[in-house]
Amino acid sequence: MEQQKLPNTTVSLILSIVAFLGCCCFGIGGVIPSGIALYLSNSDKKKYEENPELYSNYKQSNTARTVAIVALILSALFLLYVIISFVFFGGAESYDIFMESFQREMERQQSLQH
């Protein structure tokens, strides 16, 4: 009997990598793709456990699952950090203060150049 490939391995691997890059570069951007990748790789894991002799690419699926878990944890921790920052440090108010001071500094730098 010829071995097949698990159906969601490639998609879950791509989503896991996107999620990992999203959580490392953009913070919160990895939560959704890592959740989807984890769901897909878990469904592949169930299929593999039912008939392990039918499938040949379980290692790749397991790798996608591991990367998705890491990305999900990192993204969730960053999301928690953002929520805590908003609650304890003022959120939008501190952002407005930052933007005002940034704008003043930009205007000051432009006046120094002219």
Question: Which segments of the chain does DSSP mark as H helices, in order?
Answer: 9-25, 31-50, 58-89, 92-113
Q: Which amino acid is at 36?
A: I
Q: What is the per-residue pLDDT for 27?
A: 65
Q: Does residue 64 lie in a domain region?
A: yes
Distance CA 41, CA 23 (A): 19
Query: How many distinct structural domains can be found in the chain?
Result: 1
Q: Which amino acid is at 65?
A: R
Backbone φ and ψ for 4, nearest 5 degrees, come out as: -105, 170
Q: What are the residue ranges in the chain where pLDDT is below 70?
A: 1, 27, 90-95, 114
Q: What is the per-residue pLDDT for 17?
A: 93
pTM: 0.74
Q: What is the per-residue pLDDT for 46?
A: 96
Q: Does residue 3 lie in a domain region?
A: no
Q: Does residue 110 lie in a domain region?
A: no
- Domain of 40, in residue numbers: 9-89
As a whole number of Å, the CA-based R_g of the chain is 22
